[in-house]
Chain A
Amino acid sequence: MLHYLARRIVSTLPILLGVALVFFLVFNLVGGSERFLYNILPPKGRTPETINQYREAYGLDRPVIVQFLDTVGDMVTFDFGRSESTRQKVSYLIARYVPASAALAVPAFAVEIALALALAMLCARTRGRWPDRLVGVLSVAGMSLPMLALVIIGQRFLAFEAGLFPISGWTRGLGAVRYLALPWLLWVTVTVGYDVRFFRTALVEEQGKEYVRAALAKGMPRRLVMRRHVLRNALVPILTYVVIQVPFLLTGSMLLERFFSIPGIGELLVQAILSYDLPVMKATVTFYTLFFIGFSVVTDLLYAAVDPRVRLG
C-alpha cells in the first residue's frame, strides 16, 4: 500500500513534465509570449524598447529550453509569482477562486449521483416495464439537450420571465445559494441522463449473475438481494466511474461559471487565457493536472477498499 502510494507520487513527476511540455509548446506556437508582452503594456507604452525591457524582465529572451525548465520548476514548487492582470499572488488567487467552484460543483454532483442511482435502481427493478422505459426516454432527452441551450432557456424563461431565479451574479456566504440554484438545476438535468444509463447497465449486468440466483435460491427476498448483493457489486464499476468524473467537474463547470458570473476556478482560467496572463495559466493548468492525478489515486484506493480481489502494489 505504502509502496503503491510512493510509486504514484513519484510517477506524478513525468506526468507534470509532459503537461508542461504540451502547455509550453501550445503557448509558444500561438505566439503566446508576444501576446503576453503586448497585453501587459498599456497602449501608449508599447514601444520596441519597453517591450524588450519586459521581455528581459520576464526571462522571455532566454533560450526556449531554459524557459521550459523554468516552467517545470514553477509547477513542481507551485510558485508562480504574481498575476499580471491583478498583481495578486497566484496561489492566493487559486485559493480565493476554488470555494465558488466547489460550491457549484459539489452539491450539484452529489444530488445528481444520488438521483441517478435511485432512478437506475428503479429501472433495474422494473426492467422492461413502464417505469424503466419512462426513465430511459427522459434520460435520452436530457442527454440530447446541449448545456448551452439549457442555459439560455433557463436564464430567459425561468430567471428573466418567470423571475424564479436571479439571472446571474454572486455573493459571498450562504446568500450564494440563490445564485447557485439555477446552475445546479441545469447541471443535474444535463448530466443525470448519462449516469442513469451507466448505473442501470451496471446494475442489470449484476442482476444477471449466477450469484443473484443463488441468493434468491437461499430464500432471500428480491429487495434484499438487490441491496445486499446487486448494489454492492454494481458499486465497483459505479464508484470508479463516479470518482474518475470528479476532476471533470472543474472543466464541466467552466461554462456555467462563465454564464452565471460565478467566480470559480474555471472563470479564473478563462480570464487568464483571454488576457494571456501567463502565471495564472501555468498555475491553473498545474492545479487541474494535480487534481486529475490525485483523484485517479483515490479511485484506485476506493477500488481496493470495495473489492477484496484488488491488491495495490
Chain B
Amino acid sequence: MTGERDPARPPGGGAPTGAVPRPAAPAATGDARRPLPARPAGLAAALAAEAPVLDVRNLAAWYFTDEGTVKAVDGVGFKIGKGKTLGLVGESGCGKTATGLAVLGLLPPPGRVVRGEAVLGRRDLLRMPEQDLAAMRGRDVSMIFQEPMSALDPLMTTGAQIAECLEMHTDLDRRQRAEKAVELLASVGVPEPALRAKAWPHELSGGMRQRVVIAMALACDPKVVIADEPTTALDVTVQAQILDLIEDTQERTGMGVVLVTHDLAAVAQAADEVAVMYAGVLVETGPVKDVFSRPAHPYTKALLGSIPVVGQADRQLVTIPGRVPNLARLPSGCRFADRCPLAEGACRVAEPDFIDVGAGRKVRCILATGRAAR
C-alpha cells in the first residue's frame, strides 16, 4: 500500500492506491490509512518498491471550444507502482485518452490542463516548462498509441523512427543507435529485425507495426508507459501477444503501465488495479479481481454485464441505455444517474463523493457507499 503518506486530497480527486498487491485485504477502516503489508527483504527496497512511479492527483483537462467548455477529464487521480499495471477503462469519449495525453502534455488545442498534478520522480509533469517536459518524454514517461499505422511516420523507416528516441536521450552515435534499434525490434519479437529496421511502415502487418510502436515507446526504458488502446486495432490472436509482450517488458524493466482501454478482458488479463472512468471522473477503483468479481458501482456492473460469456449463450446481455452525457453540459447530480437502473431522487441532487470503501477500493455512488458503510 502506498497510503501511508496520504496528503489531503482535494474532493473528487481520489486515487486508487495500492502499488503493491495485497494478498488479503486488511480490515476496512473506512479510511485511506491502513496497515502496511509485510515488507520484503530490505526497508530501502521496500520503500523503492512502494513509492509510486507515477502519482496523478485531481487532474482536470478541459477543452475550451466555441460550443462551451468540455470537461473531458474532471478530477482524476491514480497511482502506479513500480512494475504494476493500472487498467483505465470506460466507454469511448469518457476521457481516458485525454487523461493519458494530459499527463504527457500532449493535449491538442483547444484542450488544456486546468488543475491537478502528475508527479513522476518528485517532479510535476503538469507544471514543467515544455523544454523540460520534452526531455522527460520518452525517457521517463512514454506512450503507446492506438493506431499502429498512423502512429508511424510513413516516410521514415521503422529503424530510424526507433533510433530517434535514442537520439534524443542517449549519447549513442548514429551507427550505435541503428544497432540498438535492431536489438529493440528483436526484443519486441519482430522476426528478422535487421531487415525490418530498414522496412517502411506500410510494408509491415498491423501486429508488426504495433510491435514497432512499442519498441519506439520502450526504447529508452521509461519508468511509466501510457498504453492507449494498444490492442484495439489488432486481430484477437495478436492482441494477447501484445499484452504478453508489455507484461514481459514490465517484468524486465519494472516500468509502470497505464493500460487505457475499453476492453475489460484485456484489463482482466494484464492489470493489477482497475480504474473505471465515466464522463470525465473515476467512478470505481480497486484491485482488478475484487472489482470484477464484486463490482460496487452500477456502471461497473453494467459494463461487466455487457460482455458475452462463452457457454452462456442464453444469457441476456445487459445494454446500458442512453449515451455518455454531453461533457459540456453535465447534470448537477451523479453523472451516471440518467442511465442508472437504480437511480433515485438523491442521486440527482449533488455529485457523489469518491468514497473509500475499504480493501483498497473506492466508489463514487451514494447507494453503494451507503451500503458499504453499513
A239 and B23 alpha carbons, distance in the complex (Å): 62
Q: How far is the CB of B177 from chain A (nearest CB, A)?
A: 12
What residues on A are CB-neighbors of B156 within 8 Å?
229
A127, A233, A306, A308: residue with the most chain B Cβ atoms closer than 10 Å? A308
B153 touches A233 (CB 8 A): yes
A65 and B109 alpha carbons, distance in the complex (Å): 65
What residues on B are CB-neighbors of A222 within 8 Å?
130, 134
A74 and B220 alpha carbons, distance in the complex (Å): 67
B169 touches A219 (CB 8 A): yes
A100 and B146 alpha carbons, distance in the complex (Å): 55
A178 within 8 A of B: no
Q: How far is the CB of A304 from chain B (nearest CB, A)?
A: 12
A79 and B164 alpha carbons, distance in the complex (Å): 57
B293 within 8 A of A: no
A172 within 8 A of B: no
A306 touches B108 (CB 8 A): no
Given contacts A213-B106, A213-B145, contact A308 B202 (CB under 8 A): yes
Given contacts A209-B150, A213-B145, contact A233 B164 (CB under 8 A): no
B152 touches A308 (CB 8 A): no
How many A-B pairs with Cβ below 8 Å? 85
Q: Which residue of the partner chain, among B136, B138, B145, contacts A210 with CB atoms under 8 Å? A: B145
Q: Which of A205-219 contact B (CB under 8 A)?
A: 208-211, 213-219
B200 touches A214 (CB 8 A): no
A44 within 8 A of B: no
Q: How far is the CB of A219 from chain B (nearest CB, A)?
A: 3
Given contacts A219-B136, A219-B138, contact A214 B151 (CB under 8 A): yes
Given contacts A213-B106, A218-B168, A219-B169, contact A306 B134 (CB under 8 A): no
A307 within 8 A of B: yes
B337 within 8 A of A: no
B246 within 8 A of A: no
A220 within 8 A of B: yes
Q: Which of B107-165 contact A (CB under 8 A)?
A: 108-109, 130-131, 134-139, 142-143, 145-147, 150-156, 164-165
B216 touches A214 (CB 8 A): yes
B106 touches A218 (CB 8 A): no
User: Contact flags (1/0) for A90-111 with B, using CB distance below 8 Å?
Assistant: 0000000000000000000000
Q: Could you tell me how many residues of chain B have their Cβ less than 8 Å away from some Cβ of chain A? A: 36
B134 touches A220 (CB 8 A): yes
Nearest neighbor of A216 in chain B, beta-carbon distance: B106
A218 touches B153 (CB 8 A): no
Given contacts A214-B152, A309-B154, contact A219 B165 (CB under 8 A): yes
Q: Which residue of the partner chain, among A214, A219, A220, A308, contacts B213 with CB atoms under 8 Å? A: A214
Q: How far is the CB of A89 from chain B (nearest CB, A)?
A: 48
B152 touches A211 (CB 8 A): yes
B104, B134, B153, B213: residue with the most chain A Cβ atoms closer than 10 Å? B153
A128 within 8 A of B: yes
A127, A214, A215, A306: residue with the most chain B Cβ atoms closer than 10 Å? A214
A258 within 8 A of B: no
A125 within 8 A of B: no
A217 touches B217 (CB 8 A): yes
Q: How far is the CB of A237 from chain B (nearest CB, A)?
A: 12
A216 and B138 alpha carbons, distance in the complex (Å): 8
A108 and B97 alpha carbons, distance in the complex (Å): 47
Q: Which residue of the partner chain, among A209, A213, A215, A307, contacts B164 with CB atoms under 8 Å? A: A215
Which B residues lie at the A interface, using CB under 8 A? 101, 104, 106, 108-109, 130-131, 134-139, 142-143, 145-147, 150-156, 164-165, 168-169, 200, 202, 213, 216-217, 219-220
Which A residues lie at the B interface, using CB under 8 A? 127-128, 208-211, 213-222, 229, 232-233, 236, 306-309
Given contacts A209-B150, A214-B213, A220-B164, 9 further A-B contacts (CB under 8 A): A210-B145, A213-B151, A216-B134, A217-B142, A219-B138, A219-B139, A236-B155, A306-B155, A309-B200
